[in-house]
Amino acid sequence: MAWKSRTRNLQVFDTELSADTVEWCPVSPGHDILACGTYQLLKQGDDEGGTPSRTGRVYLFRYQREASLSPPLTELQQFDTAAILDMKWCHVPVSDKPVLGLAAATGELQLHVLSDGQDGSQNLQPLSSAVVGSERLALSLDWSSGRLDSSDLRVVCSDSAGCVSVLSLAECALITSSQWKAHDFEAWIAAFSYWNTQLVYSGGDDCKLKGWDLRVGPCSPTFISKRHSMGVCSIHSSPHQEHILATGSYDEQVLLWDGRNMKQPLCETPMGGGVWRLKWHPTHQHLLLAACMHNDFHILHCQQALEGSPAACPTVASYILHNSLAYGADWSRLSLDEPAPSSPPVSEPKTSLAKSSGHLRIQYESPTASFDTSLEDDAGRYIPEDCQATPTSSKPHLSINPDDASVLSCLLASCSFYDHMLHVWRWDWTPEDGTDRSKSSPVNESAPETLN
């Protein structure tokens, strides 16, 4: 029996400005807090030679599971700022509070703390900021706390001048400890190795993936990989398995690496669109979320690749209801214990259907309602809810973990650019008998209250 996979839209929110980054708070008890950042390029008058300006806005929401008859998101706050290119919550509290980092188009790294208001609501308040350089855009950031280590908190930031900066957080103030020229063009992404935070990875528009060891200084990289054929724009270190790294590129490929051998990736998976962001699931070690620009959002199951198979990772789910560039995506740590709502009886759709990358595509026009995507097997074939999927000969076998429950349910958020839309959705996956649902990693099982 092939797996059954279902994605269901829970709410759509118009951000007005182009949405490019979305992040669920990882710090308990704030797992129901969601932040979304936007980027808008504004032309100055009608003069084509005028200098454009970039503006942005940050939205803060609370997700309410009990509000079954009303939209689950409640807007807590919005504030205008410089255009936001990336945002990340620190994985651990800072002075007992969640902290959100913003990479801004002014070349500034901003920190905001999640505070309790006098009326009992929550909002973001400025905490600290640092300019990484003039006449450049801060493009990405990552925290050193990916494995919930609160000692020696640092932030790495990349920018449009091709530089990478490492900043330390001392008494809630950002202090630049090192900065170097890492790439010939834009340094789209920089990230820590969560297992050894003296190691930093960077990717640039020069098509190069590089490694850096902060202990010996950034005078020269520890490796340079040209395995991607276009700009490298996403990197995420696995918080579950040491040495494992996922990278994505405008070349539409996701590569998995063992950091001990950066000459050859473990596997290569074509995604059908530039891979702008990659996110490992916070507790299930084999699940990888990909935002694929012109080709929607996809969830990969990476178990076989991490066990030595060079085959491409199978796609176990796709979310296809956005109508524009897929940029921001994130997993929530909230538990979805209740079953998914039942779908209405399946009828012939009035809107056109088209195939995309082997998955059923529903023509999506209105952001005002809740939507169901179809159940699908790994070959993209529709599975009625009261029927079993037909086995496929190409179905990869995934080993069983008998202690896992039969259904995995996840809450996610994603955003798209030109249509300025934020979507909150759930994914329910029923694997075949004998399928490992990507069991929780020991690091997260040992600290259920602090991961988050």
What is residue 338's predicted lDDT score, i.e. its pLDDT?
Answer: 54
Q: Read off the tokens for 283.
A: 């507790």
The arithmetic mean of pLDDT across residues 271-276, rounded, is 98
Q: Average of pLDDT values for 158-179?
A: 95
Instruction: Please report, rounded to a whole number, the percentage of residues in the chain having pLDDT higher than 70.
Output: 77
**pLDDT-derived band at 219, boundaries 50, 70, 90:** confident
Flag whether pLDDT at 400 surpasses 60.
no
Confidence of residue 2 (pLDDT cuts 50, 70, 90): low
Please report the pLDDT score of residue 1 as a whole number.
Answer: 37
pLDDT tens digits for 230-266? Answer: 999 999 999 999 999 999 999 999 999 999 999 999 9
Task: Say if CB 345 and CB 366 are below 8 A apart.
Answer: no
Res. 393: pLDDT tops 50: no
The C-alpha atoms of residue 164 and residue 153 are separated, in whole angstroms, by: 17
- Residue 193 binned pLDDT confidence (cut-offs 50, 70, 90): very high
The reported pLDDT for the residue numbered 21 is: 98
DSSP annotation string for 280-339: E-SSBTTEEEEE-BTT-EEEEE-HHHHTT--SPPPEEEEE----S-EEEEEE------SP
What is the DSSP track for 186-251? ---EEEE-TT-TTEEEEE-TTS-EEEEETTT-TTS-SEEE--SSS-EEEEEE-SSSTTEEEEEETT
**Residue 422 banded pLDDT, cuts 50, 70, 90:** very high
pLDDT band at 339 (very low <50, low <70, confident <90, very high): low
The pLDDT value recorded for residue 433 is 55
Comparison of pLDDT for 386 and 103, the residue scoring more: 103
Query: What average pLDDT does the segment 85-104 reach?
Result: 97
Instruction: Supply the mean pLDDT for the chain.
Output: 84
Task: Tell me phi and psi for residue 334, to 5 degrees.
Answer: -65, 145
Split at pLDDT 50, 70, 90, the class of 358 is very low
DSSP 26-62: -STT-TTEEEEEE-EEE--TT-TTSPPEEEEEEEEEE
| Predicted confidence (pLDDT) per residue in 42-77, tens digit | 977 655 666 789 999 999 999 997 656 789 999 999
Indicate whether 187 pLDDT > 80: yes
pLDDT for 371: 41
Band of residue 390 on the pLDDT scale cut at 50, 70, 90: very low
The reported pLDDT for the residue numbered 52 is 81
- Mean pLDDT, rounded, for 330-335: 95
Contact present, 221 and 174 (Cβ < 8 Å):
no
Report yes or no: 315 and 295 within 8 Å, Cβ to Cβ. Answer: no
Q: What percent of the chain shows pLDDT beyond 90?
A: 71
Q: What is the mean pLDDT of residues 274-298?
A: 98
SS3 label, residue 71: coil
pLDDT given for residue 436 in this prediction: 54
Predicted pLDDT at 88? 98
Tens of pLDDT along 291-307? 999 999 999 999 999 99
pTM of the predicted model as reported, rounded to 2 decimal places:
0.84
Q: How confident is the model at residue 354 (pLDDT cuts 50, 70, 90)?
A: very low
Please tell me the least confidently modeled range out of 2-6, 7-11, 112-116, 122-126.
2-6
Q: Which of 83, 191, 44 is nearest to 420 (CA)?
A: 83
- CA geometry: angle 445, 267, 440, nearest 5 deg: 10
pLDDT (average), residues 15-34: 97
Higher pLDDT, 442 or 127: 127
Average confidence (pLDDT) over 171-184: 95
Q: Is the pLDDT of residue 451 over 80?
A: no
